[in-house]
Amino acid sequence: MSFSPAWLALREPADHAARSAGLLSQVATRFGDRDAISVVDLGCGAGSNLRGTFAALPDRQAWRLVDYDPNLLAAARERLASWADGATQDGDRLAIVKNGKAITVTFHQADLNRDLDAALPPDADLVTAAALFDLVSPAWINSFAGVLSRRRLPLYTVLTYDGTERWQPPHPLDGAMLAAFHAHQATDKGFGPAAGPRATDLMASAFAAAGYDVRRAPSPWRLGTDFAALARELVTGFAAAVRETGRVPADGIDAWLAARLSGVTCEVGHEDLLALPR
């Protein structure tokens, strides 16, 4: 696993299938009386979250895609242009049309650990993110909630890992492998020791304390034969992360990985969260 464009492309169909339709409907209701909206997507990767969210938002949308990696921003620009029904480039702006929606996209490189406030323009109406908050620290989550609450900005985030993984068929080392993976997840990803599976609980508490109405919904990956390539990449990356911890003997990791690569279905738990200022 990595944050490469290839990995993000592989996981995008599973991400879109997993997100909570009920919570997305609540986003649509929140902004249903508007003609236009300005959205900031943090840690945008290759633009998957825009593609998964746009249909629930007003007909005129301005998206600011923010990421630290210029290669991912370039991939986002390319994929959005090819995904759109029509696309035109206007300087740094990409103007696209998709299913009758007119969407203007700008691309902003930023280190969210240092430049979070600068990444949020004054005209923003909504902040979004996908598969981001389990990578950041509890301290960063508190700071993030403070920045958004001072501006009374709503947050819609999807696919935050919740720590649950259910594999079929089971293997004797599943528990040890998962515990080691969680230990790896807690290492510093650039924001301090990562929140990992605690992230949604921490966000819910931080935003509730700031006076927000917080709503949560499960969004698990369910990886059967239709997502076999994703499952293979997932278990390979999972095993590599566990190997780095030294918590499971190498021969055990090899045996677990061989069993998983021979054919596997799994459910990987995530949560979506919508935080609305009261």
Q: Is 214 left (phi over 0), alpha (psi -120 to 50) or beta?
A: beta
Give the closest residue to 17 by CA, choosing from 241, 226, 233, 278.
226
Q: What is the pLDDT of residue 1?
A: 47
CA distances from 229 to 6, 9, 14, 224, 262 (A): 12, 12, 11, 10, 12
> Is residue 150 one of the residues assigned to a domain?
yes
> Is residue 12 one of the residues assigned to a domain?
yes
Backbone φ and ψ of 91, nearest 5°: 65, -125
> Is residue 118 one of the residues assigned to a domain?
yes
> Is residue 82 one of the residues assigned to a domain?
yes
> Is residue 142 one of the residues assigned to a domain?
yes
> Is residue 93 one of the residues assigned to a domain?
yes
pLDDT per residue as tens, the chain (278 positions):
458 999 999 999 999 999 999 999 999 999 999 999 999 999 999 999 999 999 999 999 999 999 999 999 999 999 999 999 999 998 889 999 999 999 999 999 999 998 898 899 999 999 999 999 999 999 999 999 999 999 999 999 999 999 999 999 999 999 999 999 999 999 999 899 999 999 999 999 999 999 999 999 999 999 999 999 999 999 999 999 999 999 999 999 999 999 999 887 899 999 999 999 99
Per the structure, the complete domain to which residue 146 belongs is given by 5-163+193-222+270-277
- How many domains in the chain? 1
Q: What is the pLDDT of residue 149?
A: 97
> Is residue 55 one of the residues assigned to a domain?
yes
Please say whether the dihedral angle defined by the alpha carbons of residues 61, 67, 73 and 75, taken in this order, is positive or negative.
negative
> Is residue 256 one of the residues assigned to a domain?
no
Q: What is the CATH number of the domain that holds 78?
A: 3.40.50.150
Give the pair of three-digit tokens for residue 130: 């996908």
Q: What is the pLDDT of residue 2?
A: 57
